[in-house]
Amino acid sequence: MTRGFYIGRFQPFHNGHRSMVEQIAADVDELVLGIGSADDSHTVRNPFTAGERIMMITKSLVDYDLVTYAVPIEDLERNSVWVSHVQSMSPDFDVAYSNNPLVIQLFREADIDIRQSPMFNREVLEGSEVRERMINDGDWESLVPDAVVEVVDEIDGLERIQMVSDSDSNGE
């Protein structure tokens, strides 16, 4: 039995993340999705809470033939102990997945098997592009799983991100 660990902020969970999960699913029996920056929300970069991101991920992956666990991981001031912090919060895992250079470096230094994946349609499948479209009433729905559209609707997420974006541009 192999268990993987995939870390990201998932603000929001989009079709690039979903493609990465599909690719990882070929390698592992179970997958932990680490919800990074779990302590942050209500900002333009991190509009959604850890709980809201758990809903997005759980509902998006419900039909997959893969056991998944979504685990919130708060940020720490000290990069040097971050991997131990991750391990203390997550079910044990055999292999980690990320395309983030700092994350890759930290896992490598801890002698943990860390794998990257190709970027899928990165011109548009990027969290910042999805958030930009949410703020400007663009077509963000086509970039995320249907379940994410439903969660954003349930939590009035568009109103939230537009409000925090306005506060940001007013220097509040």
Ligand X SMILES: Nc1ncnc2c1ncn2[C@@H]1O[C@H](COP(=O)(O)OP(=O)(O)OP(=O)(O)O)[C@@H](O)[C@H]1O
- Interacting residues toward ligand NMN by CB under 6 A: 7-9, 36-37, 75-76, 79, 82, 98, 100, 102-103, 106
Interactions with ligand X, residue window 10-29 (CB under 6 A):
10-11, 16-17, 19-20
| Under rule CB under 6 A, residue 34 binds ligand X | no
Q: Which is nearer to ligand NMN, 76 or 119 (CB)?
A: 76
User: Do the beta carbons of residue 57 and residue 1 sit within 8 Å?
Assistant: no
Q: Which of 36, 27, 112, 105 is nearest to 71 (CA)?
A: 36
Nearest residue (CB) to ligand X, 1 versus 123: 123
Report in angstroms how near the CB of residue 170 gets to ligand NMN at its nearest. Answer: 26
Task: Give least dist CB 97 to ligand X, A.
Answer: 7
- Residues of span 70-109 touching ligand X by CB under 6 A: 98-100
- Residue 79 interacts with, from ligand NMN, ligand X, none (CB under 5-8 Å by kind): ligand NMN
CB of 19: closest distance to ligand X in angstroms? 6
Q: Which is nearer to ligand X, 1 or 103 (CB)?
A: 103
Please give the Cα distance from 6 to 33 (Å, whole number). Answer: 5
Could you list the beta-strand ranges (E) of the chain.
3-8, 30-35, 67-72, 95-97, 114-115
41 lies in the site for ligand X, by CB under 6 A: no
For residue 47, give every residue at least 6 positions away whose Cβ sits within 8 Å of its Cβ, in sequence order, or none: 11, 12, 41, 131, 157, 160, 161, 164
- How many residues interact with ligand X (rule CB under 6 A)? 20
- Nearest distance from C-beta of residue 68 to ligand X, angstroms: 15
For binding to ligand X (CB under 6 A), which residues are involved? 8-11, 16-17, 19-20, 98-100, 117, 119-122, 125-128
